[in-house]
Structure 1
Amino acid sequence: MIAAANPAIFNNGAACGRSYSIRCTGPTNQGVPQPCRNGAITVRVVDLCPGCGANQFDLSREAFSMIADPDAGRILIDYN
């Protein structure tokens, strides 16, 4: 399970290789009102996501589909 992190989390590469626990907390759009599945997953940061905002990760397709309906596209998350 891999992810790209926003610039603040990525911290000029300092977060590369770090693991984060991520879980879906809700939808960001009306298209999929109940996107969350299962519980938390652990992902490893392998890249920078320059377009991601604060508190955002770009999850691999496999990682995203473990915690949410892939049709949702974007979701709200908690992480640590």
Structure 2
Amino acid sequence: MLTEANSLFGTQIGACGGFNVNSDHVVALPPLEYAGGTHCGRMVRIYYQGKSIDARAVDLCPSCGLTGLDLSISTFQALAPLDVGLIYVDWFYI
């Protein structure tokens, strides 16, 4: 899915129940993908400008629209500098 991603996701307890830190490669899913927790723990592969990273779905992002993601700081930094703020990525479940 081609969508936007940002790095507003930090250290916290995710909607899926676990505690996450900035160094974890994790994402928050949009409401339709989160689906009441159905996809908690699933891995996603995210692509941006020739780079890719695998991350675990651990949270809900109510403001992410239909397909947007919130990325942990380390996940975002694997793809782009934080000061970019918002990137457009492709992602899918693996």
Match of 2:79 in 1: 67
Give, in angstroms, the shift of residue 68 of structure 1: 1.1
Structure 1 regions of 5+ residues with no counterpart?
26-37
> Which AA in structure 2 matches 1:8?
L
Question: Which of 5, 12, 36 is the equivalent residue of 2:36?
Answer: 12
> Which AA in structure 2 matches 1:16?
C
Match of 1:33 in 2: none
Bigger proportion of residues as helix: 1
* TM-score (norm. length: structure 2): 0.68
Q: Once the two structures are aligned, what percentage of the paired residues are identical?
A: 37
| Superimposed CA distance per residue, residues 13-49 of structure 1 (whole angstroms, 9 cap, x where no aligned partner) | 0010000000125xxxxxxxxxxxx611001000100
For 1:9, what is the secondary structure of its paired residue? helix
Structure 2 regions of 5+ residues with no counterpart?
1-24
Bigger proportion of residues as strand: 2
For 1:40, what is the secondary structure of its paired residue? strand
Give, in angstroms, the shift of residue 8 of structure 1: 1.1
Give, in angstroms, the shift of residue 74 of structure 1: 0.8
Poorly superposed stretches of 4+, deviation over 2 Å: none
> Which AA in structure 2 matches 1:20?
V
* TM-score (norm. length: structure 1): 0.79
